Chains A and B, each alone.
Chain A
């Protein structure tokens, strides 16, 4: 079974621009979560989607948004980019949203904001 895929793997943007990142979950998985990883803050939860609905949201400004499609693929969007948005963005998928459900991570998209 193919793993979680994320595109693009690397991205360079300038301040003020917007960016869209894509995540394709493992086949059959209905839950997709997004995390931001930075050296200073570590792994921080952005949001989770399940059956096209946002089920949970972390403490990030409204510039960060996402959506999930009927095939469970997900996108996240960051508008009006700031230097501090430079990070590795990780997507994880799981079968359901239960407490014991294992999250499987993709390789991430490394975003650099200049």
Chain B
């Protein structure tokens, strides 16, 4: 079965600093990977996804992620944090079990310090 591990349940960065949120996956087949963001009292919004092709994926709000097969990683980055980036971020892998379903990581709460 596939799984996702997000290292660090809480991450704090200063405004303007680099954001790095870590995600490692376990999969016996080529994974399809997703990053979602959840703002307080809201649902999840897709930031970006990797299916095939280019391993560096650009998403919304200046975020990007790089698929590294050798490291089984799909870390999320943003060069310069903004106060509005404060939210919870979820990494997910698409797993086939009957049809396809998402397996989510436990989430990383990002805090941006002024």
Asked if A and B are interacting partners, one says yes
A residues neighboring B (CB under 8 Å)? 4, 6, 33, 35, 42-43, 45, 48, 50, 55-56, 58, 90, 92, 97-108
A107 touches B97 (CB 8 A): no
B residues neighboring A (CB under 8 Å)? 32, 34, 36, 41-46, 49, 51, 90, 94, 96-107
A43 touches B104 (CB 8 A): yes
Secondary structure of the B side of the interface?
strand
Q: Which residue of B36, B94, B99, B107 contacts A55 across the interface (Cβ within 8 Å)?
A: B99
Q: Which residue of A48, A90, A100 contacts B101 across the interface (Cβ within 8 Å)?
A: A48
A4 touches B43 (CB 8 A): yes
CA of A35 to CA of B104, assembled, Å: 10
Q: Which residue of B32, B45, B96, B97 contacts A105 across the interface (Cβ within 8 Å)?
A: B45
B43 touches A105 (CB 8 A): yes
Q: Which residue of B96, B99, B102, B103 contacts A103 across the interface (Cβ within 8 Å)?
A: B102
CA of A107 to CA of B98, assembled, Å: 27
CA of A102 to CA of B48, assembled, Å: 10
CA of A106 to CA of B47, assembled, Å: 15
Neighbouring B residues of A33 by C-beta, 8 Å:
101-102
Neighbouring A residues of B51 by C-beta, 8 Å:
99-100
Q: Which residue of B32, B43, B90 contacts A99 across the interface (Cβ within 8 Å)?
A: B32
